[in-house]
């Protein structure tokens, strides 16, 4: 059965995701062991601020490139225009960031959105050169980035900046590479003008994606920000919650791998969504069992100061299970260009999650935060499932 579920292309692309996410998780676990809970919590907090900010700067372009571009020429020009737009957006946002004393985060925002894993460049490689190229890029950029992070964690005592400064080393190099790509691809001015007209028309839809993706990211990180605002021991609570969350996040490797590798099949056949859902469901069930056993062993043998988080982890894992079932249906909404529907779902669920987080944290602490995620993510999954069934029925 597993042989039918796991194709060799899934293994290669999945290995790149496992490696890149694995490097991140290993570094976070090393930081959890190396730092006090308060310092580790501050590192996790700033990491998530960067990821949310980068989600805004990306402006929905990764999803737009994945779902909209058809011809090879459109993929090239949409990629170059997307990076250019992000750079201009950075200049526009600079006064705002300066006002809030967040100027130091500008380069990480641009680097994450344009060149890091899950950003615009990876989407471009995926649709223009295939999953093997995208995998190679993911592995290379991750090794470079996390090497810098490790050096900062090991030698630099300001934990919160470990995910901030690597972007300052890598961004100039990748910007020069991007400029060189302009030259190699022989990008023509008249074609830039042609595709800019189309690109500009899509900015409205892209802005819908921005709000939707921003809401999606905030939905994932609301728990951390609520803890930061309401907890009397914010960074310690963030450390406990993030440690369990990082283990639960491993479930997300499964849908990310299968969906991104088979994105072109989803574009061509609406029926393929049923096949892919079955594969994801089976693999998620097996992975969840393995993670429960692994987490129990880790907190008993290696990270004893997190022993009290086992029940918290089980609740988070349930939330992550429903979350991992959702990306397939969210991606299909983008493929069929149901941007407004996707936005409405994300905004509504974000509002529900914020309300639940606020009240449930006051009464149940971290267990309440995790429970709120279970409720919100389950409702979101059901709504996405029903909407996709309605779309497929129409087709």
Across 111-115, 119-123, 186-190, the highest mean pLDDT is recorded for 111-115
Centroid of chain to Cα 208: 18
Measured between alpha carbons, how far is 138 from 19 in angstroms, rounded to an integer? 9
Measured between alpha carbons, how far is 358 from 220 in angstroms, rounded to an integer? 14
CB-facing half-sphere around the CA of 344: CA atoms within 13 A: 8
Yes or no: say if 141 and 115 are a contact pair by the CB < 8 Å rule.
yes
In 58-188, where does DSSP find H-type helix?
61-68, 72-99, 106-115, 120-128, 131-155, 166-184
pLDDT at residue number 60: 75
Tell me how far apart the terminal alpha carbons of the chain are, to the nearest angstrom. 30
pLDDT at residue number 88: 92
Of 104, 95, 114, residue with least CA distance to 55: 114
pLDDT at residue number 327: 87
Q: What share of the chain is helix, strand, coil (3-state, %, to 5)?
A: 90, 0, 10
Measured between alpha carbons, how far is 64 from 72 in angstroms, rounded to an integer? 14
Percent of the residues in the chain that have a pLDDT greater than 70, as a whole number: 85
Q: What is the pLDDT of residues 14-39, one digit of tens each?
A: 566 667 777 888 888 888 888 888 88
267 contact partners, CB below 8 Å, separation of at least 6: 67, 335
Of 256, 40, 64, residue with least CA distance to 163: 40
Q: Does residue 4 have a pLDDT over 70?
A: no
Return the biggest CA–CA distance within the chain: 63
Q: What is the pLDDT of residues 47-83, one digit of tens each?
A: 988 988 888 888 778 877 776 666 667 777 788 888 9
pLDDT at residue number 383: 93
370 contact partners, CB below 8 Å, separation of at least 6: 223, 241, 244, 312, 315, 316, 319
Residue 46: helix, strand or coil by DSSP? helix
pLDDT at residue number 1: 45
Yes or no: say if 369 and 315 are a contact pair by the CB < 8 Å rule.
no
Yes or no: say if 93 and 100 are a contact pair by the CB < 8 Å rule.
no
pLDDT at residue number 159: 76
Over residues 192-196, the mean pLDDT reads 69
Q: Does residue 210 have a pLDDT over 80?
A: no
Q: Indicate the pLDDT class of residue 392, thresholds 50, 70 and 90.
A: confident
Q: What is the pLDDT of residues 296-347, one digit of tens each?
A: 999 998 888 999 999 999 999 999 999 999 888 888 887 777 877 878 888 8
Measured between alpha carbons, how far is 337 from 259 in angstroms, rounded to an integer? 17
Of 147, 73, 57, 175, residue with least CA distance to 110: 57
R_g of the chain, CA atoms, integer Å: 21
Measured between alpha carbons, how far is 112 from 276 in angstroms, rounded to an integer? 29
184 or 145, greater pLDDT: 145
CA dihedral 154→168→131→74, nearest 10 degrees, is 170
Q: What is the pLDDT of residues 255-308, one digit of tens each?
A: 877 887 777 677 777 778 888 888 899 999 999 999 999 999 999 988 889 999
78 contact partners, CB below 8 Å, separation of at least 6: 61, 64, 65, 68, 69, 195, 199
Q: Indicate the pLDDT class of residue 209, thresholds 50, 70 and 90.
A: low
pLDDT at residue number 201: 67
CB-count exposure of residue 207 (10 Å: 0-12, 13-18, 19+): middle
- CB atoms under 10 Å from CB of 96, counted, come to 11
């Amino acid at each position: 059965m597993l042989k039918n579920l796991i194709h060799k292309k899934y293994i290669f692309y999945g290995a790149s995701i496992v490696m890149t996410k694995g490097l991140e998780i290993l570094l976070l676990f090393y930081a959890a062991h190396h730092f006090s809970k308060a310092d580790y919590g501050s590192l996790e907090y700033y990491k998530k601020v960067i990821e949310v900010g980068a989600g805004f700067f990306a402006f929905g372009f990764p999803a737009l490139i994945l779902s909209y571009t058809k011809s090879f020429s459109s993929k090239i020009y949409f990629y170059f225009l997307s990076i250019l737009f992000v750079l201009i957006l950075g200049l526009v946002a600079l006064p705002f960031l300066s006002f809030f004393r967040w100027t130091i985060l500008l380069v990480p925002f641009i680097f994450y959105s344009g060149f890091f894993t899950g950003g615009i460049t990876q989407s471009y490689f995926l649709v223009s050169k295939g999953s093997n190229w995208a995998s190679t890029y993911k592995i290379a950029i991750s090794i470079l980035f996390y090497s810098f992070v490790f050096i900062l964690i090991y030698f630099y005592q300001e934990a919160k900046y470990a995910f901030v400064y690597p972007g300052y080393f890598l961004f100039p190099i990748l910007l020069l590479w991007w400029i060189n790509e302009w030259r190699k691809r022989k990008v023509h001015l008249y074609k830039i003008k042609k595709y800019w007209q189309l690109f500009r028309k899509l900015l409205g839809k892209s802005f819908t994606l921005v709000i939707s993706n921003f809401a999606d990211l905030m939905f994932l990180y609301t728990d951390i920000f609520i803890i930061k605002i309401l907890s009397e021991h914010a960074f310690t609570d963030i450390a406990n919650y993030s440690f369990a969350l990082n283990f639960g996040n491993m479930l997300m490797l499964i849908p990310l791998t299968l969906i991104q590798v088979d994105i072109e099949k989803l574009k061509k056949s609406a029926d393929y969504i049923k096949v892919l859902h079955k594969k994801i469901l089976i693999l998620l069930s097996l992975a969840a069992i393995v993670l429960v056993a692994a987490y129990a062993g880790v907190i008993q043998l290696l990270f004893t100061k997190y022993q009290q988080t086992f029940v918290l982890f089980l609740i988070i894992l349930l939330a992550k299970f429903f979350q991992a079932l959702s990306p397939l249906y969210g991606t299909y909404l983008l493929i069929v260009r149901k941007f407004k529907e996707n936005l409405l779902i994300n905004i509504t669920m974000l509002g529900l999650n914020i309300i639940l987080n606020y009240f449930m944290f006051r009464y149940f602490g971290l267990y309440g935060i995790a429970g709120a995620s279970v409720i919100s993510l389950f409702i979101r999954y059901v709504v996405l499932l029903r909407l996709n069934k309605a779309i497929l029925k129409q087709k």
